[in-house]
Chain A
Amino acid sequence: MIEFQHVSKQYSSDAVALSDISLSIAKGELVFLAGPSGAGKSTLMKMIAAMERPTSGKLIVNGQDMAKLKPAGVPFLRRNMGLIFQQQKLLNDRSILANVMLPLLVVGAHKVAAEQRARAALDKVGLLDRAMARPLSLSGGEQQRVSIARAIVNRPQIILADEPTANLDRASANKVLDALKAFHSVGVTCLISSHDEQMLDAAARVIHLKNGQLVAIDKATEAPVFAPPDPDFAPKPGQHDVDAQGDEA
C-alpha cells in the first residue's frame, strides 16, 4: 500500500529531512512512527500525503508512483486518505458537524446524506451529543476526536495521524488512540507518528527514525486482531473516482 524505496528529502544543502528510507506498509496494517522531534516523522507523512515530494528515491502510495503524480491528481489521492494533525486544523467558525461534513461536500455528496454520515462518524468518536458545538468549546482531546471523525467520514483507505496525542493528557490521548484503533480494526491502514514511547502499541509495527534515518523496525509481537468489518466505515477502494466527476469545470 505504501512503499518507500531509498527515499531522501533535502530542503537545502545542510537541511536533510530524510535520508535513504526504504520501508513498506501493507494494506490494513497499524504502524507507529517513533522518534524524537526533528527525526523526520512529519516529513515522511507529508510525502505520503503529497504535501512534499521526495528529492530522490521512489515512493509508491496506493499503487501510485508519487513522482508521476500530477498536481491535479493530488486531491483525488488525498480523498482516499484521512489526515490527522497535532494541531487539529478545525474550522472554528462553524459547528463540529459542519467540520466533519466538509470532506463529503468536497466530493459532491448531497447535504442531507453528508449530514447523516457526519453524525454517524461523530457517534463513533463519542461526540454526537456535541454535534452543534463550536470546536473552541471542546477540550483538546475532543477536538482531536473531531478531526478523527473528519478523517474517517469519507471511508479512507489510509489514515495518517501526525502526533495526534501531543499536547493531550494521558486519558484524552488514550481515547484518541482507541478511536484510531477502532477504525484500524475495520481494515483501514493506519500510520501514527508519536514521540511518546508510552503511546506505542505492542500489537503494532513500530518504525524508529532518528535524524532523518531509519534506525529500527520493531515487528508486532502479535498479529493485529481485526474486529468484524463495520459496513459504515470500512474503506471502499476507488469510491472517490466516481464522485470526482462532478467536481470539474
Chain B
Amino acid sequence: MRGWFRQHRFALGSALIHLRKSPSGFLLNVVVVAIALSLPFAGLTMLDNVRPMSEQMSVDPEISVFMKINTPREQATSLAGEMRKIVHDAKAKIVFIPREDALESLKSKSGLADVLNTLGDNPLPDSYVLKLNAFNSATEAQDVDAVAEQLRQLPGVESAQVDSAWVKRLAALLGVLRLVLLLLAITLGVAVIAVVFNTIRLQVMTQRDEISISKLIGATDTFIHRPFYYTGALLGLCAGALALGAVALALQPLNTAIAEFARLYASEFQLVPLAPLPMAGLLAVSAGLGLIGAFLCVQRHLARVN
C-alpha cells in the first residue's frame, strides 16, 4: 500500500514538474477551459438562486373562491361539502379562510398594516382555497377551469379564481432553462475534454523521449500514464476553481443592478454564490472532465510511443 501511495506521489510530482516547465502554456489552457466552464457554472448559479423562489410557489392547481361580503359565516362554512362534490377529488385540500384571518395575513405579509387599520371595517370576504392535484394533461387543466365555473355558481360565492396557471408557466420556463443549461453544459463539457485532450497530446509529444526511455527501463503503462492523468485532472480542477471564482466575482456588479430593480418591488432579492457542497461537486466534475480528456488522449497516443 505504501508503494502504491509512493507511485501516486511520484506521478503527481512528475506532473507538477512538467507543468512548472511551461507554466504559461498551462495557465493559458486553464483560462480557456475556465471560460468554457464559466458559462454553465453561471447558469447553474442563476438557476440555484431562482429555484427557491419557484419552489415557494405552488405548481399544483389552486382555486381561490371568494364569498360575497355579506354571506353569513354559517352559509359560507357549509359550502365545503358542495365544493368537494364539484371537484371530484377526494385528495383535494379545501381550506376555509375566515375574513379575519385573511386580514391578519395581509397585514403581516404586505407591510400595509397601518393603511389597513385606517379602513376601520374588514374589507375582505371569507374565502376558500382549493388545492387540487397537479395537472397531468391539458385536458385536466381545462377541467380546472370548468370546476372554477361550477364553483362560481354556488350560492353566496362572488368569484372563483384559478391561481396557479402563471406559476405553471414559470415552472415550465424553468424546466426549459434547465434543459438549455444541460445541453450547454454537455456541449462545453465536450469542448473542455477536447482542450484537455489537445494539451495532453502536446505533452505526450514533448515527453516522447522520456516515455520511450521509461518503457525501456521497465515502466509499466500505468506508471507512464499516471502523470498525464494527474495533469488532466489538475487542469480541470484549476479551471473549475477559476470559473467558480469568476462567477462569484461577476455576481457583485449583477447584485448592484438587481438591488435597484428589486427595490422597486419591495424585495431584497440578491444573487448568492453556490453553497460549498455544490461547488465541491462542480470542482469534482471539472477535474473529472480533465481526467476523461487525459484518459482518451493517453489511450490514443501513448500506445504509439515505443
Partner of A247, one of B2, B7, B216: B7
Contact B218 A107 (CB under 8 A): yes
Q: How many residues of B contact A (CB 8 A)?
A: 23
Taking the nearest CB of chain B, how far is it from the CB of A61, in angstroms? Answer: 14
Contact A106 B6 (CB under 8 A): no
- A105 on the B face (CB < 8 A): yes
Partner of B3, one of A90, A150, A245: A245
Chain A residues with Cβ below 8 Å from B7 are: 108, 246-247
Name which of A71-79, A119-127, A214-222 contacts chain B. Answer: A71-79
- A146 on the B face (CB < 8 A): no
Bound-complex Cα distance A75 to B225 (A): 14
Q: Which residue of B lies closest to A147 (CB)?
A: B213
Contact B216 A89 (CB under 8 A): yes
Chain A residues with Cβ below 8 Å from B213 are: 89-91, 102
Bound-complex Cα distance A103 to B2 (A): 18
Residues in B1-52 with C-beta less than 8 Å from chain A: 1-4, 6-7, 10, 21
Bound-complex Cα distance A77 to B215 (A): 11
Taking the nearest CB of chain B, how far is it from the CB of A55, in angstroms? Answer: 18
Bound-complex Cα distance A247 to B224 (A): 10
- Residue pairs across A and B with CB atoms within 8 Å: the count is 70
Contact A246 B3 (CB under 8 A): yes
Taking the nearest CB of chain A, how far is it from the CB of B250, in angstroms? Answer: 40
Partner of B218, one of A78, A93, A249: A78
Q: Which residue of B lies closest to A242 (CB)?
A: B3
Residues in B183-237 with C-beta less than 8 Å from chain A: 209-210, 212-223
Contact B220 A248 (CB under 8 A): yes
Chain A residues with Cβ below 8 Å from B3 are: 108, 243, 245-247
Chain A residues with Cβ below 8 Å from B10 are: 105, 111
Chain B residues with Cβ below 8 Å from A75 are: 215, 218-221, 223
Taking the nearest CB of chain A, how far is it from the CB of B257, in angstroms? Answer: 51
Contact A247 B220 (CB under 8 A): yes
Taking the nearest CB of chain A, how far is it from the CB of B198, in angstroms? Answer: 22
Partner of B210, one of A51, A91, A107: A91
Partner of B4, one of A89, A103, A240, A249: A249
Partner of B217, one of A72, A83, A249: A83
Q: Which residue of B lies closest to A89 (CB)?
A: B213
Interface centre among B10, B215, B218, B306, by most A CB within 10 Å?
Answer: B218
Contact B6 A110 (CB under 8 A): yes
- A49 on the B face (CB < 8 A): yes
Bound-complex Cα distance A150 to B214 (A): 12
Bound-complex Cα distance A240 to B217 (A): 12
Residues in B219-278 with C-beta less than 8 Å from chain A: 219-223
Contact A249 B216 (CB under 8 A): no
Bound-complex Cα distance A108 to B5 (A): 9
Chain B residues with Cβ below 8 Å from A49 are: 216
Chain A residues with Cβ below 8 Å from B4 are: 246, 249
Bound-complex Cα distance A77 to B219 (A): 10
Taking the nearest CB of chain B, how far is it from the CB of A107, in angstroms? Answer: 7
Interface string of A121-154 (1 = CB under 8 A from B): 0000000000000000000000000000010001
Contact B217 A247 (CB under 8 A): no
Contact A102 B216 (CB under 8 A): no
Contact A76 B209 (CB under 8 A): no
Contact B218 A240 (CB under 8 A): yes
Chain B residues with Cβ below 8 Å from A83 are: 216-217
A103 and B217 in contact (CB under 8 A), knowing A51-B306, A247-B3? yes
Q: Which residue of A lies closest to B215 (CB)?
A: A75
Interface string of A215-249 (1 = CB under 8 A from B): 00000000000000000000000001001111111
Interface string of A7-21 (1 = CB under 8 A from B): 000000000000000
Chain B residues with Cβ below 8 Å from A154 are: 217-218
Pairs A–B under 8 Å by Cβ, sample size 20:
A75-B215, A75-B219, A75-B223, A76-B218, A78-B217, A83-B217, A89-B212, A103-B217, A103-B218, A106-B214, A106-B218, A106-B219, A107-B218, A154-B217, A154-B218, A244-B220, A246-B1, A246-B4, A247-B220, A249-B222
